[in-house]
Structure 1
Amino acid sequence: MPNYNRWIRGFSIYLVPGLVFQSVIVGGGYGTGREITEFFLVHGVLGGFFGMLISCLVWGAVLAVAFEFARITKSYNYKSFFQALLGRFWWLFEVIYLLIALLVLAVLGSAAGEIISQLLDVPAVIGVLTLMLFVGILTFFGSKLIERVFVGWSALLFLTYIALFASTFTNFNDEIIGHFNAATITGAWAVDGVRYAAYNLNALAAVLFIVPRFVKTQHAVGAGLLAGVVAIVPGIFVFLTLLANYPGVLTAPVPVTQVLSALNLVWLLVLFQVMLFGTFIETGTGVIHAINERVAGTFQTNRKAFPQWLRAAIALSFLFIATFLANKIGIISLIASGYGLLSYAYIAVVILPLLTVGLARILLHRRRQEQLATNSLNN
């Protein structure tokens, strides 16, 4: 029993944060393959693969620093986190985060409508309303239910992507291997790897509620490094799967469904669509839960209770506005233009401050702790 409890605790500390982070970023463009083509496959097969490894390294390094910084400053929502990191300029993150939240939710609403319309032959609005319903329910009940759903759905996600890749490789192994043998590398693949990692760090705001479980540096750093790996693995399966129909997938609104159509496996198509719709719910929930936690922090500062109904109301308001944007602009334009621009803002406001000011604060804190320990021993 003690060993079992230790395993459960280790899973909770080291892997759950990565699964939550992955759950927030996987919906929309990642899960559909649209972001994978936009940021990676456009640089050729090897260029795209190397770019994904760059994203993994950036996520791991930044999240390791971010988790430890949040731990020592006791910052469990994005407002308190960026107040500690940026001081009076913390609001810069909030502006960027709210913009990208609307952007992500717009992509989710557009993709959810398309999936439900294709799967059930019903109007796209049914998919959007279903997304709103489940996001509203999860945000209403809060952190504990969200964590459990995220971890459970991540297991299904991994199994589905493994099945998808295995089926694709069985049928199109010559094409996939042939593309790798061609060894194509074009464009600024490393830059796009950093840019992709940067704007996806909006998910950091959604993972901060996990931080209280870290009681020492080893926990925070270990969880951060593993989170980068956990988050990129499903993306690599998607990347390899898309090679079956490369370069045709580069212009497809939902590239993965193009590959699924070529496979002609009804059971896998249905399983994937259900899994993908679940990731939309996860991503939408994570993005909005971070906003709810920030609002809850303000209520707590003012010594007021955060009404439970307001959690769902905030979620539905953001989803409604985002859906309007999606209908006006379109999914490909949203990902190509909006995400690209906001990625540079995340580099300036999140990555650079964390790897300079944040890291310096961590080292200073560690030095002070060592001095206190030395003084205690001397006394």
Structure 2
Amino acid sequence: MKGFVDRYLSPGFVLMSVMIGGGFATGREIVQYGGQYGYKGWIVGLTIALTFSALCVISFEVARKFQVFDYRSHLKVYAGPLAHVYDIIFFIQSLLVMSVMASATGDILQKTMNFPYYVGVLVIIVISALLSFFGQQLIEKFAVAGAVALYIGYITFAILAIYGRTDNIARVFAEGDTSYVSGELGIFSLIWVGILYVGFNVQPLTTAFFTCEKFKNRREAMVSGFIAGFIIIIPWVLTYLALMAYYPDENVFGAGVPWLIMMMNVHPIVVIIFGVIAGWTLVATTVGVMNAMTSRIDKQLAENDKPPLKARTRTLITTAYLVGAILMSRFGIIALVDKGYTAMAIGMVVSFILPLITVGAYKAFVKK
């Protein structure tokens, strides 16, 4: 059973544990990329699931076939000079995602537990730094255990948000309600929204490459990749359905943290639990991203015949990066998601997705 989990489920859980912070935790992301389109949002969700599965299948097989388990080595297989562009975007997007999460977590812990804003964020910094210090093996265990806990949490939150409001969900789909947005919503526009969502969430995929060392053959890489695409879409679906229970309520859809508004309508205890889980998602995202970044630095050092980073240095890098994200977070979560995510998504499509699905797919499945 452990072997099955390691090879087929662990990559998807690691990916989801990193992605959930920037992609799901606040609910703002799903409003922007799916929820605001009402009943037509399902088209966005299906696009996300299929696109992510395809990207996981190709990238996992590239990792297995060429034995490249850090993102720098991985991109060198197929991206050429665009690998340097990806480096820049990775750095900026990591800072952006953690800024969004820091802003959300600080606000949530303040509103749910009466923590001063920076005290709540300081707790997150300390936990993230400790996990970075103890290394990759602990990170993988934390990610898998955390992903299971987050799944349970999000399923619970979705049920609580939907309970007593299923009539509104039925109404949205029966009436074809898209009233929160104006203008015609063509299918290709919605597919593009899904691709953009994948674009700004594809970075966590590179943080899961280290789990691909366990694959013994192409079949394991492909099956694991396909499963991973659908593991990560479940929180999207749960959040989308919860939002449809309130569609098109401006109090929810105009909020910086829509989940918090929905949970406040349930019970104060639930709000506190949500605060704890939101903090957990920031830790998971931060640790996963920083592990990918420091692994990339280690690879560069090895190529220059220098020793890898010490645990203390990894911890200092993680701490400094989080402090920068916290300072940036004061710009406000809605502005960060609205402006920053779209720009970063386009950059990721150009520097990572297009080279992967063309040159990467050819080298992985066609070239001997």
For 1:15-30, what aligned pairs fall within 5 Å after superposition? Answer: 15-30=9-24
In 1, Cα distance between equivalents of 2:121 and 2:268: 23
Aligned AA for 1:132? I
Aligned-residue Cα RMSD (Å) equals 1.4
Partner of 1:268: 270
Instruction: Indicate if the aligned counterparts of 2:79 and 2:352 stay in contact, CA closer than 8 A.
Output: no
Asked if 1:290 is matched to 2:284, the reply is: no
Aligned AA for 2:11? P
In 1, Cα distance between equivalents of 2:44 and 2:32: 12
Instruction: Indicate if the aligned counterparts of 2:202 and 2:348 stay in contact, CA closer than 8 A.
Output: yes
TM-score, structure 1 as length reference: 0.91
Cα distance, 1:303 vs. partner? 4.0
Instruction: Indicate if the aligned counterparts of 2:133 and 2:314 stay in contact, CA closer than 8 A.
Output: yes
For 1:141-290, what aligned pairs fall within 5 Å after superposition? Answer: 141-184=134-177, 187=185, 188-247=189-248, 248=250, 249-263=252-266, 265-290=267-292
Aligned AA for 1:259? M
Asked if 1:134 is matched to 2:127, the reply is: yes
Paired positions, count = 357
Partner of 1:322: 325
In 1, Cα distance between equivalents of 2:81 and 2:22: 33
Cα distance, 1:113 vs. partner? 0.8
SS in 2 for 1:72: helix
CA deviation string 1:41-99 (max 9, x = no partner): 22222x21210110111100011000101111111111111112123442111011111
Partner of 1:4: none
Q: 1:34 aligns with which of 28, 35, 56?
A: 28
Cα distance, 1:268 vs. partner? 2.2
Q: 1:362 aligns with which of 334, 355, 364?
A: 364
Cα distance, 1:269 vs. partner? 2.0
Instruction: Indicate if the aligned counterparts of 1:86 and 1:353 stay in contact, CA closer than 8 A.
Output: yes
Mark the CA change 1:168 to 1:120 in structure 2 (over 3 Å): closer, same or farther. Answer: closer
Q: 1:120 aligns with which of 97, 113, 116?
A: 113
Mark the CA change 1:169 to 1:112 in structure 2 (over 3 Å): closer, same or farther. Answer: closer
Instruction: Compare the two structures and name the one with the higher helix fraction.
Output: 1
In 1, Cα distance between equivalents of 2:73 and 2:272: 42
In 1, Cα distance between equivalents of 2:23 and 2:201: 11
For 1:331-342, what aligned pairs fall within 5 Å after superposition? Answer: 331-342=333-344
Aligned AA for 1:54? T
Range moving further from structure 2, 348-357 or 238-247: 238-247
Instruction: Indicate if the aligned counterparts of 2:113 and 2:272 stay in contact, CA closer than 8 A.
Output: no
Q: Can you give the 5+ residue segments of structure 2 that lack an aligned partner in the other structure?
A: 179-183
TM-score, structure 2 as length reference: 0.93
Cα distance, 1:29 vs. partner? 4.9
CA deviation string 1:337-372 (max 9, x = no partner): 01101111111111111111011111344xx3xxxx
Cα distance, 1:184 vs. partner? 3.4
Instruction: Indicate if the aligned counterparts of 1:29 and 1:107 stay in contact, CA closer than 8 A.
Output: no
